Amino acid sequence: MSPRPDPRPAAGGPPAEAAKAAPRPGERTAADRLAFWSRQAEELHWETRWSEVLDWSAAPFARWFTGGRLNVAYNCVDRHVEAGHGDQVAFHWEGEPGDTRTITYADLRREVCRTANALLSLGLRAGDRVAIQLPMIPEAVFAMLACARLGLPHSVVFGGFSPAALQSRIEDAGARLLITSDGQYRRGRAEPMKANTDEATRHAPSIEHVLVVRRTATEVPWTEGRDLWWHDLVDTQPDEHRPEAFDAEHPLFILYTSGTTGRPKGILHTSGGYLTQTAYTHRAVFDLDPDTDVYWCTADIGWITGHSYIVYGPLANRTTSVLYEGTPTTPHEGRHFEVIEKYGVSVYYTAPTLIRTFMKWGEQLPARYDLSSIGMLGSVGEPINPEAWRWYRKHIGGDRVPIVDTWWQTETGAVMIAPLPGAAPAKPGSAQAPLPGVSAKVVDDQGREVGRGESGYLVLDQPWPAMLRGIWGDEDRYRETYWARFAHRGHYFAGDGARYDEDGDIWLLGRVDDVMNVSGHRISTAEVESALVSHPSVAEAAVVGASDPTTGQAIVAFVILRAGATDGDAAEVTAALREHVAREIGPIAKPGRILVVPELPKTRSGKIMRRLLRDVAENREAGDVTTLADASVMDLITAGLTGRP
Ligand code: WT7
């Protein structure tokens, strides 16, 4: 397709209409918002129409489109085939070793039906949970959609998570089935997967079957009766399956994310509202034309971005997407640009950390490829610094295409704050304004909205269709985490700091809680700390996120070693600790630096003062130490660190 000018003409298409109507924060009434979402829901196929758009009577537990019934997979697949688009490509899949597969909507329908029939043959029934740990292969999408088709809430676990992390997620959700693969490609090497998931399922009694996709032809341990090959079970199933409609509030999936404690939260999303908002936002934010665009979201399906903007939103909109298995460096650093050129990608959606990595590699790299198909760029996962924004636009976007910086969370399910293309002049580094139908505010400690030029906490002051419906199995934690902070106003507390500029546009400032953002991944300080103290050498640990030019934040751990553990080489001990964290949580949680210290700075009530440790980690003079129980501790820490890397 031809590149689109920026700003594009406001004429034609619903996105431009939506852009014209985009309100400033607080301008829309609640009734307007409900009417707006009702219109968006009408874009989907409902077997039974809803009787009420929103039931907020049991707040903070929302019910959207009450009484409505639909099948999510039918909306994402079958209806496009029935409308004559069976031959349209749903996915251009590109495997890491260079193998490819083209999947049309008709192919997708057949594969999803077969997979659904296979799951039925295992005795799974609506409401049962299915855990999925798979690399970025088409079967991952087939599995998710088959679950959606049967009303089986899925719990996708990122392929880089450890057996221990997988086990706790399986247990928490009580999953009956695990879908995994023999191995996965990681930077050119085939690494075992099934061997790891076996470690996880050994202590997960709820698992009755393990369905295994052959991907790398890796030798696998096998449990007769429990384990089944995908090609044996799925490929032999009938191609037809009649979808059944489920209640709009039927659980669609659970996705675990880090909070401020050591225990991940199972974020629960349901069907009708989630699909309505993911489809709407995908269409409007990316100004998507399903007949001409080739869209590529580079996330992994193990994260919410993969759920909402690789699977559900794009498929509901009949998008042609690229699905890419590998890392950006395999087999070479130009891989992403090569893929853009090969498929004529017109919408490219990625994370600031990757953009900054591209910057490090240099602009000569994208210059070698024909990127003229690009008409729109997206950013997600962390604040994008203006320098990265400009580089992205210049060297990937040919200095001519719009960039949408999209703010949202696992909990919000879909994009909440983003500039609509063509609606307002771009501001590098600002997510700008809530989308139509969304209401967000920046407030002070008391929940009062702050003025222009002021900063505070980001809150969502009105319910939205794709909002989480709770934390799996933990109603109290849901109320406590999101709704207690501004309970008197009924605001959802996002955990982010934000600022209004002089025009009233929103700038995100990063987390205000003990959650780190490393390469756009959410990791809790408490989770890494508890992994560290589970090692026999560690007496105490404190973890902070220190700002990092590429990854946004980097994990820095301060540890006090047990007597005896210091006998060996300090470098050996810290290397062992890094490996230990990788084993406990996953490689993404490995601290970049581990500093051995004699003491930790604590208040008189025993609370660790992470602010001071962050000062040390970022090579600053430690700030105000007056609330420390022992003010000399900071001297002890810094003295001990002098001369160390
Ligand atoms: C946290 C949510 C949204 C999908 C990927 C991450 C940060 C996300 C932005 C953005 C500034 C952002 C926030 C948020 N974040 N997008 N465009 N600008 N910050 O989902 O793992 O649930 O993390 O990511 O801090 O709270 P997540």
Does residue 305's CB lie within 6 angstroms of at least one atom of ligand 1?
Answer: yes
Predicted local distance difference test score (pLDDT) of residue 364? 97
Q: What's the token pair of residue 466?
A: 């794709």
Q: Measured from the CB, is residue 300 less than 6 Å from ligand 1?
A: no
Residue 12: predicted pLDDT? 31
Distance 246 CA to ligand 1 centre (A): 30
How many angstroms is it from 519 CA to the middle of ligand 1? Answer: 11
Question: How far apart are the CA of 381 and the centre of ligand 1, in A?
Answer: 4
Among 496, 505, 509, 511, say which to mutate for ligand 1: greatest number of ligand atoms within 8 Å of CB.
496
Known binder of ligand: residue 205?
no
DSSP sequence for 398-430: TTTS-EEEEB--TTT-S--B-PPTTTS---TT-
Atom 19 (ligand 1) nearest CA: 382
Q: Whose CA is nearest to atom 5 of ligand 1?
A: 381
Among protein residues, the one with the nearest Cα to ligand 1's atom 12 is: 382
- Residues in the chain, pLDDT under 70: 1-28, 566-567, 642-645
What pLDDT, in 10s, does the model give residues 8-18?
Answer: 333 333 344 34
420-467 confidence digits (pLDDT tens):
877 778 899 999 999 999 999 999 999 999 999 999 999 999 999 999
> Distance between CA 573 and CA 566 in Å, rounded?
8
Distance 337 CA to ligand 1 centre (A): 25
Strands 492-500 and 177-181: unpaired
Residue closest to 357 by CA, chosen among 324, 395, 323: 395
581 labelled binding-site residue = no
User: Residue 335: what are its φ and ψ, rounded to 5°?
Assistant: -55, -50
Q: Which two tokens stand for residue 160?
A: 């880089």
**Pocket of ligand 1 contains residue 299 by CB under 6 Å:** no
- Which residue puts its alpha carbon closest to atom 17 of ligand 1? 407
Q: Is 182 in the pocket of ligand 1 (CB under 6 A)?
A: no
Is 450 annotated in a binding site? The answer is no
CA 124, chain centre distance (Å)? 27
Helices (H), 42-182: 72-73, 79-80, 105-121, 138-150, 163-173
CA distances in angstroms from 375 to 328, 397, 438, listed in the order given: 21, 7, 26
At 8 the pLDDT is 32
Q: Which residue has a Cα nearest atom 7 of ligand 1?
A: 382
Q: How far apart are CA 437 and CA 129, in angstroms?
A: 31
Reported ipTM exceeds the 0.90 cut: yes
Alpha helices in 48-101 (DSSP H): 72-73, 79-80
CB neighbours of residue 328 within 10 Å: 18
Q: For a pocket test of ligand 1, which of 457, 492, 517 has the largest count of ligand atoms closer than 8 A to its C-beta?
A: 517
Q: Which two tokens stand for residue 172?
A: 């928490």
Instruction: For residue 522, say whether it is annotated as part of any ligand binding site.
Output: yes
Residue with the smallest CA separation from ligand 1 atom 23 is 409
Element (H, E) at 303: none
Report yes or no: 531 and 584 within 8 Å, Cβ to Cβ.
yes
Specify whether the CB–CB gap between 492 and 528 falls below 8 A: no
CA angle 337, 342, 345 (to 5 degrees): 70
Partner residues linked to 510 by β-bridges = 497
Judge whether 381 is annotated as a binding position: yes
pLDDT of residue 27: 52
